[in-house]
Structure formats: structure tokens, C-alpha cells
Structure 1
Amino acid sequence: MLTIAYIGFGNSVTHYHLPYVEKKSELKVKYIYRREEDRLGDTEREAWYPHYIFTSDIEKVMTDPEVNLIVVNTPDAFHVAYSMMALEHGKHVLCEKPFAMTVAEAKKVFSLAKEKGLIATANQNRRFDADFRTVKKVIDSGVLGELVEIESHYDYYRPSIKENKRFGFLYGLAVHPLDQIISQFGIPKSTTLDCRSIDNPGISDDYYDMDLFYENGLKAIVKTSCYVKLDYPRFIVHGKKGSFLMPSLGHNSNKEYQPGPIVLAEENYSEEFWGTLAYVDEAGETIEMKVPVESTEYGRIYDNLIGAIEHNQEKIVKDQEVMAVLEIIEAGLKRAKEAK
């Protein structure tokens, strides 16, 4: 049994952790830690979860012998501090992405976890998104043949972005699609990075177009723009035997929720959201078909944690993958700051 304490109580916890954790009998949530200043005027939501202990006493959480897993869901700048604190107190750690702000910081956390004989990993749950799982299923089937190119787009139409005069898109958004690509294809041999702001060059990073190159000739493109008015495919995959287009399923930030604990709704995507596959089969015939959307499985991260902590299984999110993503983001941020 893993007994969990959450550090933080934002949308990440209520939308992408608790609904999946509560379905698993091997997991128990005991605490949700919130700083006192974060609770002011926002205690109504706590009543939605009467079985949890809400506290602003971090020592109480860290020294409770029943708690063996700390899940860090704070603002990015505090991820490393709370992860290190948890490890020092003998607790395993699941930390929201970005795992750290630099590769050097990530190495410190992983090194301490190894020294203590504990698990520390990043919550790269977006590799279990419905759309990416659909793309992965098609790629793994082999019908596309040797892959030539894959594009990953996470676009918006938000002209208000011109008012954004701070950095944060790379750490807050690019960390997802970069991990998806690296989880599927591994660490690239080289990258070309175009990271900047269309409206505020040098003081923001809200546009990026990153090319990842692999030994076998594959090129992966990871791109986000806030000036895309027409719907664009979420993924475009080309291989030597065929192509696959995966439409956008919409942004999580656009979903509306009723007050109260989030209830996982059954995902039934209509055919307009299915992927489009065309390939040449072994007989030389062209096959065209629609591919149903797979389900979202964010709980897979917790399944793996149970296996890694209790049965010594390999972590599904590898340390090298986490650091490879951070290395690209660090380099991209440098480019964005130089984009004047």
C-alpha cells in the first residue's frame, strides 16, 4: 500500500491525479499540504474531500511514518526544494513536470534518491494522452514503414498573447510534447531550436519550433504557436509506406467542470476526431481507414510507481529522458532570451 501526501492543491491535483488515484485500491491519500496563505479564501474545495487531512504543517507530513510517497504539485520554482525535502525524510517522490528548472538540479535530485535507495520520478503523464496513445498505436503497428517525419503541434488562436511579457511557455507547455517524442523515439542526436516570442522577442518564449534529429534519419518537429486560427492536426506522421493524421481533441484548459470532485467521464470520441491512416500493404494495395481514438490513461504513472516501489520494477519515465527534455528546454530558453 502506498500512502500519499500531496504538496499543493491546484488543478493538477484535482484534475489529473486524484480522479485516477481514487480508483486504485493499492493507493491511499492521507494528506494534502497547502501553505496557509494559499488557503485564504479557498477552503470550500477542501470540503469536497472529507477523507483527506488538509494541513499547513509540512513537518507533520514529512515525519509521518505512514506516508511513503510525496507528490509535488507546487509552482515550478519549488519542485526541487520539496522533492529534496521528501527524499531527506525517506519518502519516494513523484514530481510534476518540469521535474526541475535545470539539468544540474535534476541530477541532484536523482543522485539523492539513489543515495537513499528511493524512487524519484517525473509525472510525465501526457505520454498517456488519448491522441498520443492513438499515434503510438499506429506507429508501433509498423504499417507506416520506416518513419521519415513526425510533427507534433499544440497550437492556439490567442491574440491576447501579445500581452504576455514573461518566460514560461517552454517549461509549462513544451515539456509535454518533448517528452512524448523522446518517450517514443529516444534522445535525439541533435536539435535545431527556434524559440522566441512573435510579439515580445527577448522577453517571452510563447512561440517555438523545435526540430529533433535521429540517427536513422527521422526528424521530429515540436511546435506551438498562438496565432493558428484554423484547426491543425495535432500529429502528422509520414513513413516510407504511409501517413497518419491525428486531429486535435481540444485543449484541457478549455474544458468546463462543475463544482465538486472531478468524476472521470467515459471518453467517446465521434468519428470526426478519429485519425486518418493511409498506407501501402504487402500486396502493394493502398489501404485507407479511420482509426478510433484510444483512451486517456493518466493512472499508468501510478501503476508504474507501485511496481517500482514495491516490486523493484523499472521506472517508466527514465532519468535520462527527464534530463534530455530539460536540456532542450534550457537551450531553447537561452535562444528565446537572445531573440531580440
Structure 2
Amino acid sequence: MLTVAYIGFGNSVCRYHLPYVKKREEFINVKYVYRREEDRVGDTERETWYPEIIFTSDIDVVMKDPEVNLVVVNTPNEFHVDYSMMALEHGKNVLCEKPFAMTADEARKVFDYAKEKGLIAMANQNRRYDSDMRTVRKVIESGVLGGLVELESHYDYYRPQIADSPRMAYLYGLAVHPLDQIIGEFGKPNKVVYDCRSVSNLGEADDYYDFDLFYDNPFKAIVKTSYYVKIDYPRFTVHGKKGSFIMPTLGHNSNAKQKPGPIEVSFDLLPEETWGTLSYIDENGKDVTMKVPTEATDYGIIYDNINDMLENNAEKLVKDEEVIAVLEIIEKGTQLAKEAK
């Protein structure tokens, strides 16, 4: 049984954790949410939506409760390492939001301490289980595309107003998701070619990036984000030696409006307009084109894995070396964005 305490109570907890945990009440009990007292001012109504959870502003209540065996860190990025180390020090397993740390060296420090304590510390790279990524994975694993040649991932917006607020934040806040999707699927690349900059504020922002991740010839993965894309690209385009797959963009789920009350999620089949298009040559030389049903998003798979690690000594889904590889790319990309002017 996982007895969980959340550190923080922002959008991530309410939208990407609790709804999926709710589907797994047979082995997950959410006991606490820790919030700083200043964060609760004017924002306590949401707490009433979860009467079964204890809300506290005393961190010692969480850390000293022997029932709590998993602390989930959902604070601003700069506090991830501090709270993760605190939880490990108190004998708690840790699931930490991404970016897991601000540097690869900090991440190594946390992982090493967890191993020393005989505990789990894992990054919540839940975007591996987005509906579009799960669908792409299903197609790739089917083998119908043959040997892969190229995969292109787009996570774009049209927000020209971004020019008025230059900041170095987008690689850590956004690129961490699609980079991990690629590295989680294919491993650490042999080489990375970087284009990290800002369209409107050279040297002052990192809101445009284009990473080319090279694997064994001929496969290359491209990860791109721009805030000046008015007409959507496909979310994923995959080309293999025997065929191609196009996954449409499904929109940005963080933009979905929240009604009062706990968010609910469904694993029902998604409508056909969300399905991908697959075209390939089969083993008989026949040209096949078909729609591929889109898988459901399920961020609770991360929790399934943690429970399986504790109960059955399973392997981590999000491996330490994958987290470190993503952070190394982001660190170098950030530096290049600062030097772009």
C-alpha cells in the first residue's frame, strides 16, 4: 500500500496526480498535502474538495509520520532537490516533478543518497504516458514501420506576446517533457545538435529550440518548440523504411478549463478525429493505409511502477541515467541560448 504525502498543491497535483491516483484507491492512500501557510491565503476552498486528505502547513507532521512511504514533490523547480533530500533523510521514497533537479550533478546527488538509504527517488516523467506518445509507441512497437529513419516531435504555440516577457525558463519548463519522451523510448543519443535561442529576445530567453538527437544510423529524432506557430504541425511524425505514421496534435491539456471540484479522467476510447494515420507496405507488398485509435492518457502508470518496485522489486520505468541525460541537454541548451546574441 502506498501512503502518499504531496508537497505542494498546484495545478500539477490537482490535474496530473490526484485524478489518476483516484483510479487506484485499492493500493494508494493519499494522507497529506503540505502547503506553506502563505500559499493557503485566499485559496482554501479547493481543500474542501478533498475531505479525505489532511492539509497541513507543518512539514514535520508529514516527515515524522511512519505511515507515509511516498513523498511526491510538486513545488517550484528550485525547491525540488531540497524537499527530495529532506524526504529521503526521513526514510521516505520520493517521486519528484520534472525537472528533477536544476543540474545533472544535483540529480546525481539525490540518486546517490537514495541508493545509500535503500530508497526510491524517481522523476515524475509522466508525459511518457500522454495519449499521443502512447499511440506512437504502440505503432513503433508493432514493427510495421520497419527500421526507423526519423521521428519529429512538435510542441508548439502561437503566443507572440512572449516577446514582452523574456526569460530563461522554457527548456526547464517545457523541453524537459518531449526530450524525455524521446530518451525514455530510445535511450541516450550518440550526438545532439542544438539550436536554442529566442525569436524576439536573443540571449535573454530560450523560447525557441530545435534539438536533433542522432542514434545509430539512419535514425534521428527531432524535438522542436516555437511560440510562433499559427497552424499546428502534427504532434508526431514518424518515418520508417516500410511506412510512416502521423499523430495529430491534441491541444495542450494544461489549457483546459477546470470546473469547481476534483478533476475526473476517463479511459474511454477517444473520438476518431484524434486518431493517427498509418501508411505502410505489408509483408505481401500491399499498400495499407489506416486510422489508428488513440490510446488514453494515464499518468498513474508511474504509481503502478513505484508500487511494483516496493512489492516486487521491479525496475524503474524512469531510469536515473535517462533523467541525467535530459538535464545535460537542457543545461547545454540553456548556455547556448544565453550566448545566442
Instruction: Please give the TM-score of this superposition, normalised by the length of structure 1.
Output: 0.98
Q: Which residue of 2 aligns with 1:16?
A: 16
Q: Which residue of 1 aligns with 2:49?
A: 48
Structure 1 residues not aligned, in runs of 5+: none
> What aligned pairs does 1:237-252 form with structure 2 within 5 A after superposition?
237-252=238-253
State the 1:215 CA deviation.
1.9
Q: Which residue of 2 aligns with 1:88?
A: 89
Q: What amino acid maps onto 1:234 in structure 2? A: R
Structure 1 range deviating more: 257-266 or 26-35? 257-266
Equivalents in 2 of 1:168, 1:283: separation in Å?
50
Aligned-CA RMSD value: 0.9
Q: Which residue of 2 aligns with 1:310?
A: 311
Q: What amino acid maps onto 2:215 in structure 1? A: Y
Q: Which residue of 1 aligns with 2:323?
A: 322
State the 1:272 CA deviation.
2.2
State the 1:161 CA deviation.
1.1
Equivalents in 1 of 2:98, 2:135: separation in Å?
22
Q: What amino acid maps onto 1:5 in structure 2? A: A
Is 2:150 the partner of 1:146? no
1:118-161 Cα distance to aligned partner (Å, 9 max, x none): 00000001000000111111111111111000000001111111
Q: What amino acid maps onto 1:3 in structure 2? A: T
Q: Counterpart of 1:176 in 2: which secondary structure?
A: helix
The change in CA–CA distance for 1:22 and 1:271 in structure 2 (over 3 A counts) is closer
Q: Which residue of 2 aligns with 1:58?
A: 59
1:227-246 Cα distance to aligned partner (Å, 9 max, x none): 11112100000111111110
Structure 1 range deviating more: 271-280 or 321-330? 271-280
Q: Which residue of 2 aligns with 1:172?
A: 173
Q: Counterpart of 2:245 in 1: which secondary structure?
A: strand
Q: Which residue of 2 aligns with 1:126?
A: 127
Whether contact under 8 Å (2:306, 2:316) holds in the other structure is yes
Equivalents in 2 of 1:100, 1:256: separation in Å?
29
Q: Which residue of 2 aligns with 1:76?
A: 77
Q: What amino acid maps onto 1:122 in structure 2? A: A
Is 2:229 the partner of 1:228? yes
State the 1:281 CA deviation.
1.1
Equivalents in 2 of 1:292, 1:189: separation in Å?
33
Equivalents in 1 of 2:125, 2:289: separation in Å?
33
Instruction: Please identify runs of 4+ aligned residues in structure 1 that moved more than 6 A.
Output: none
Whether contact under 8 Å (2:267, 2:297) holds in the other structure is no
1:265-302 Cα distance to aligned partner (Å, 9 max, x none): 35543222211111111111111111111111111000
Is 2:185 the partner of 1:190? no
Q: Counterpart of 1:17 in 2: which secondary structure?
A: helix
Q: Which residue of 2 aligns with 1:294?
A: 295
Equivalents in 2 of 1:310, 1:77: separation in Å?
32
1:96-127 Cα distance to aligned partner (Å, 9 max, x none): 00000000000000000000000000000100
Structure 2 residues not aligned, in runs of 5+: none
> What aligned pairs does 1:211-222 form with structure 2 within 5 A after superposition?
211-222=212-223
Equivalents in 2 of 1:114, 1:54: separation in Å?
30
Whether contact under 8 Å (2:270, 2:295) holds in the other structure is no
1:137-188 Cα distance to aligned partner (Å, 9 max, x none): 1111111111000000001111111112111110111111111101111110
Q: What amino acid maps onto 2:51 in structure 1? A: P
Q: What amino acid maps onto 2:23 in structure 1? A: K
State the 1:66 CA deviation.
0.9
Q: What amino acid maps onto 1:309 in structure 2? A: L
Q: What amino acid maps onto 2:280 in structure 1? A: Y
Instruction: Please give the TM-score of this superposition, normalised by the length of structure 2.
Output: 0.98
Quick one: percent identity of the two aligned structures? 70
Q: What amino acid maps onto 1:21 in structure 2? A: V
Q: What amino acid maps onto 1:299 in structure 2? A: G
Q: What amino acid maps onto 2:230 in structure 1? A: K
Equivalents in 1 of 2:272, 2:72: separation in Å?
37
Equivalents in 2 of 1:233, 1:34: separation in Å?
39
When the two structures are aligned, how many residues end up with a matched partner? 340
Q: Counterpart of 2:183 in 1: which secondary structure?
A: helix
Q: What amino acid maps onto 2:12 in structure 1? A: S
> What aligned pairs does 1:85-124 form with structure 2 within 5 A after superposition?
85-124=86-125
Equivalents in 2 of 1:98, 1:267: separation in Å?
30
